[in-house]
Amino acid sequence: MTDSRPTTPARPGDNDYNGPASEHLLAQFNGNPAITLLQAPSPVGSFPVPDSRATTPSPPAGNAYSRPISPNCWEFIQTPSPVLPPAYSRPMSPNRWEFIQAPSPVLPPLPSSRTNTPGPPAGHTFENPISQGGSSQHNGNRISNIESPSIHQHQQVVVMTPIANDLQHQNPQSQGIQESIEGLQSLHFKEMTSRKCLITKNCEGTCGWLLGHGKYRTWKMPGAIRCGQQQRNDVRHVTDEASDILWITGMPGSGKSTLLKYAAQETEKSSPACIVASFFFSRSGTQMQRSALGLFRSLLHQLFTPSLQLPDFFLQTFRAKRNTKGKSGEDWEWHKEELQNFFNLYVASSRYRILIFIDALDECTEDDPWQLVHYFKTLAASADSTLSICFSCRHIPSIGPSDDDAHTICVEKENEKDISTYITANLKPAFKEEAEEQHIKDIRREISAKASGSFQWVELAIEKTLSFRRKGKSVKTILNMLLQIPQALDGLYRQILINIDKEERSEALHLMQWVCLAARPLALTELRLAMASDWADPRQRPHQNHGELEKSEDYENDAQMKRLVENLSGGLVEVKSEKREEPECTVQLIHQSVYDFLVLGGIQILNESKDIRHSIGQGHHRMARACINYATLADVHLAVRTGQTQQFPFLSYAVKSWVWHAKKAEASGISQDDLPERFQGPFGGFLQRWIDAYRAIDPSSEGCPDGRATLLHVTSEHGILSVVKTLLLEPALDINSFNNKKRTPLSYAAEKGHGEVVKALLDAGANANLKDINGRTPLWYATRNKNAGVLELLLKSDSTKYDIRRWLWYAARNGYEDVIRVLLEKGVDPNSKDSAERTLLWHAAGKGHMGLVTFLLEKGAVVDSRDTWGQTPVFSATNNGHYEVVDLLLRQKADVKSSDKEGRTPLSLAADNGHATLVTLLLAENVDVDLSDEKGRAPLWYAAHNGHARVVEILLENGAGKKA
């Protein structure tokens, strides 16, 4: 097909291209379906988009390669805006676009001047299929291009297809796919989607109001459109980060999690041009489920998964860790700071809108939720409207905004219609007769009137209603019962526990302790075996082996256990599976508000105790013993030795969690001093069994004990003081015993900051100067972890005097002000110098630790002390761009006009590194703008050489170069 119509010249900066050339190219897309486009950077103009797909964005600009995924469907990886109109494409992920039934035009040749167009990846061979207007040839990675007057405006377009056998049958590992899979696996953790799966699906006809809510629609709207709309409407222009942050707040039980889950799923369906990721915190879940580390591992896994083309900034770090440390999850783990950096880089490089949904922010108990909010706000503000975040949380002013905030949706103010719909849907199956329609209305009216926006209250009220209905109670009786239900959730929970039969309260307490206080949610089988393992005296074991335990009279099988849970809990505990087809069920409280009620005093109803701290402590004490009882069953030990531990469902929890429960009990005032007898006496011998079991089940876990650990090592590390003191009474105890890493009990206690344990060990004669296999002493661990109180205890020991200066500089570089404060109080000179003659102030200034710099200056640190290179602290701070520190040093009369041994000045360093604000600050001190170093290079030379245009401009404005 040919076209003799003239072309319209392209003009730099055109945003619309509607000339004959675009019409010609659009017409050509009805031709050969086998041709694909490669290396098609965005043209100067853009092609008109068919009205039916007017909102479809173009793929991002950049270099690209493609591969077939079906006869009429090609996948373009990191493709720029193509010649194909958007009607033929849809985004699959930030770096992948799918072109559906996009027959290629028969394009005439490009100008031969384009022969330097980048080719395909090394090793890939391409050829051009049948073409009416010209041909291209493959030659390694270079392409001979073809010319056409109809596409002079788009000269970077190259027409080619890959040889099918070359791409379709390559080893995926050779393309880095296997490496990407391993990288994704390093981010994954078992419970990553557990909380989301367990959240109740919204009732049909509910939650839709959120998608149409003005605040939600504004938040979801791209930033440029949002701001433009505000300007057109002559309303306040949003200039802060709040427009990219949406808050969904509500009281406990108002349906926030269900609403957020619905919003995330529906947004992902309706916004193919956006990237959607979500995370659901869970206070009762594992550490990953309630931490920022888990959040970022999950988000990055979701963001990276669709393309299987992990970014280089991630893969480079992953390769380095894998090649130098070994397998992820066993030999190393990701750190939160690393993952935050990856997330920053991903957002900065994305050309797509990124919508993040984060549920139950108040349940992030391992980190400071406010710090997370600050992080996301800062990132969103710098992301040029690319990133938007939707948080849900309770009404907690210290975390989120007030309810009348312009970017907050308060759920209980909006969910009245949803509650009515939910009540009707749940009552209809029980009131099927047509004549009973009025009964549904009456009950719905009564429940709705007392709900006050709480779905949790409604659900419990409905359950009571249906229970009465099953018992044949009249509607009038049901309505009277509803009138008696306390309107507040706490009152309702209290009533439920009080109604539990007194003879069943002891067992109900046992159940509630396991469900409420467990380190993680237990599977139904685990809970059954845990409760069956509850005996206090190790000398009177009702079950000698696992087979006997499975035949327990009170806990015979999972079906019976499920009924028992439902009965003993009064409906406050539920048994739920993540997916309907999965047989394994998790036992959990029906809502976080139940947990809050129980731990704040509600559990005392079952225990009849006046001290809630004692009740919680007794629960952990009892659970620790149950774990030990299970792990010491005779056949369990045999299974560990033969590697057949999978047949013991509760073993993993028991082995990993007994010490955690013992630590919690100790913290609640319940002494654990009976443990030595269980571990080392004639009835226990458990220590080595426990170590062997842990190392067989999860040897890479952070909590896995060393093979030569003693009970003193373990209890010192975990701060179980009562056991430490009991062990120290043993005359044959080796207080300085080494494990395989040559670490002592004191080393672990110092690292973890257990001051009372450190004091007890030191008083008993522990050596504070013993080094482990890495040459690290207890003082090093205390310094690294900023344990100032422990450090002070260690410094009282004569054996640590030599060790002080060794870690002094480490503390200064890392900004450990409390540590430095303790060291100075012990007589360390604030002007102490290291081997390079650098002072504490030099190190602190270079790292930008403003608080420590201020403290050292107050303690008499010399502001102009020089190192062996002739540089003072102001050089160190300037070189690293720490404006506030430099400003403080200048106010302390620091000399900024002097040079170091190479003739470099602070101004020279600032210009060299492109620190424009520092250049301005230093010039205000009347420094010589043209002072050259020993190589004859002035600040202007360094700025120009490194391409720092703004610094060059500032220097020229201040007379630089005029002397020449």
Q: Where are the beta strands (DSSP E) in 237-333?
A: 245-249, 274-280
Work out the number of other CB atoms within 10 angstroms of the CB of residue 617: 20
d(CA 766, CA 797): 10
DSSP output for 455-490: HHHHHHHHHHHHHHHHTT--HHHHHHHHHHS-SSHH
Q: In what side-by-side order are the strands of the sheet with 36-38?
A: 36-38, 158-162, 126-127
Residues across the chain: 964
162 closest CA partner among 143, 178, 188, 147: 143
d(C-alpha 358, C-alpha 381), whole Å: 18
* Cα gap 718→703, rounded to integer Å: 10
Question: Which among 601, 623, 619 has a CA at the least distance from the CA of 668?
Answer: 619
Q: Identify the pLDDT of residue 963.
A: 67
Q: What is the pLDDT of residue 15?
A: 34
Task: Check residues 440 and 88 and name the one with the higher pLDDT.
Answer: 440
Please give the pLDDT value at position 211: 95
Question: Which of the four pLDDT bands, split at 50, 70 and 90, describes residue 138?
Answer: very low
Beta bridge partners of 390: 246, 357
pLDDT, position 26? 28
Tokens of 23: 């019409």
* Residue 924 Cα distances to 908, 918, 920, 942, 955, angstroms: 15, 10, 6, 20, 12
**Burial class of 32 by CB neighbour count within 10 A (0 to 12, 13 to 18, 19+):** middle
Q: Which of 400, 468, 459, 469 is nearest to 431 (CA)?
A: 469
The Cα 17–Cα 685 span in angstroms is: 82
Q: What is the CATH number of domain 896-964?
A: 1.25.40.20
Instruction: Report pLDDT digits (tens) over 844-889.
Output: 999 999 999 999 999 999 999 999 999 999 999 999 999 999 999 9
pLDDT at position 397 is: 79
Q: Print burial letters for 262-278: b (CB count within 10 Å at least 16), e (below 16).
A: bbbbbbbeeeeebbbbb
Alpha helices (H) in 65-187, listed in sequence order = 164-168, 177-187
Residue with tokens 């540089």: 871
- Which pLDDT band holds residue 542 (cuts at 50, 70, 90)? confident
Q: pLDDT, tens digit, for every residue of 512-535? A: 999 999 999 999 999 999 999 988
CB 245 within 8 A of CB 388: yes
3-state secondary structure 88-120: HEEEEECCEEEEECCCCCCCCCCCHHHCCCCCC
- Quick one: pLDDT band at residue 403, thresholds 50, 70, 90? low
Strand 89-93 and strand 138-139: the pairing is unpaired
DSSP state, residue 514: H
pLDDT tens-digit map of 296-311:
999 999 999 987 789 9
Can you give the pLDDT at residue 799?
A: 57
SS3 737: coil
Give how far Cα 961 sits from Cα of 55, 913, 941, 953, Å.
53, 19, 9, 12
Number of H-type helices and E-type strands within the chain: 44, 17
Tell which residue, 808, 798, 746, 797, has the closest CA to residue 771.
Answer: 746
Q: Is the separation of the CB atoms in 722 and 757 below 8 Å?
A: no
The answer to whether the CB of 960 falls within 8 A of the CB of 931 is: no
More confident residue, 224 or 294: 294
Among 419, 30, 98, 365, which Cα is nearest to 255's?
419
Structure confidence at residue 800 (pLDDT): 55
Helix spans in 814-866 (H): 817-825, 840-846, 850-858
Q: Exposure string (b/e) for 508-519, b if CB count within 10 Å is 16 or more?
A: bbbbbbbbbbbb
The per-residue pLDDT for 186 is 96
> Cα–Cα distance between 572 and 588 in angstroms, integer?
9
What is the helix (H) or strand (E) element at residue 126, kind and residue range?
A: strand 126-127
3-state secondary structure of 77: strand
* Secondary element (H or E) of residue 910: helix 906-912
Using alpha carbons, select from 36, 42, 69 the residue that is nearest to residue 58: 42
Pairing state of beta strands 387-393 and 408-410?
A: unpaired
Sign of the four-CA dihedral 573, 579, 581, 586: negative
- In this prediction, residue 702 has a pLDDT band, given cuts at 50, 70 and 90, of confident
Residues near 220 by Cβ (< 8 Å), separated by ≥ 6? Answer: 267, 271, 355, 388
Question: Whole-angstrom Cα distance, residue 796 to residue 763?
Answer: 11
Whether pLDDT at 803 is above 60: no
Chain centre to alpha carbon of residue 636: 36
Cα 427 from Cα 782, distance rounded (Å) = 61
pLDDT at residue 329 in the model: 85
Q: What is the mean pLDDT of residues 72-100?
A: 39
Matching residue, tokens 């050089």: 875
Which has more pLDDT, 89 or 225?
225
Of 3.30.300, 1.10.150, 3.40.50, 1.10.3470, the CATH number of 184-414 is 3.40.50
3-state secondary structure of 242: helix
Q: Is the pLDDT of residue 443 over 90?
A: yes
| pLDDT beyond 50 at 488 | yes
pLDDT exceeds cutoff 90 at 402: no
Name the amino acid, one letter, at 500: I
Side-chain half-sphere exposure of 311, counting CA atoms within 13 A: 20
* Mean pLDDT confidence for 631-636: 86
What is the model's pLDDT at position 19? 32
74 burial type by CB count under 10 A (0-12 exposed, 13-18 middle, 19+ buried) = buried
**Which amino acid is present at 926?**
N
Q: Which two tokens stand for residue 778?
A: 């207890």
- Structural contact between residues 819 and 791, judged by C-beta atoms closer than 8 angstroms: yes
- Asked if pLDDT for residue 7 goes beyond 90, the answer is no
Per mean pLDDT, which range of 165-174, 359-368, 523-532 is the poorest?
A: 165-174
User: What mean pLDDT, rounded, does the chain reach?
Assistant: 79
pLDDT in tens, 834-844: 889 999 999 99
pTM of the full predicted structure? Answer: 0.62
Task: Report the run of H or E that residue 49 belongs to, with start and end.
Answer: none
The set of residues, in sequence order, having a beta carbon less than 8 Å from that of 422 and lying 6+ positions away, is 203, 206, 455, 458
Q: What is the DSSP string of 402-453?
A: -TT-TTEEEGGGT-HHHHHHHHHHHHGGG--SGGGHHHHHHHHHHHHHHHTT
Which of helix, strand or coil describes residue 161? strand
Confidence of residue 239 (pLDDT cuts 50, 70, 90): very low
Max CA distance (Å), the chain:
104
Rounded to 10 deg, the angle between the 612-631 and 505-517 helix axes is 80
pLDDT tens per residue, range 739-770: 999 999 999 999 999 999 999 999 999 999 89
Provide, for the chain, the percentages of residues in helix, strand and coil under a 3-state DSSP scheme, each rounded to the nearest 5: 50, 10, 40
Contact by Cβ (8 Å): 152, 7: yes
Strand order through the sheet with 274-280: 274-280, 353-359, 387-393, 245-249, 408-410
Bridge-based pairing state of the strands 274-280 and 353-359: parallel
Residue that wins the pLDDT comparison between 885 and 157: 885
Identify the band that residue 650 occupies on the pLDDT scale cut at 50, 70 and 90.
Answer: very high
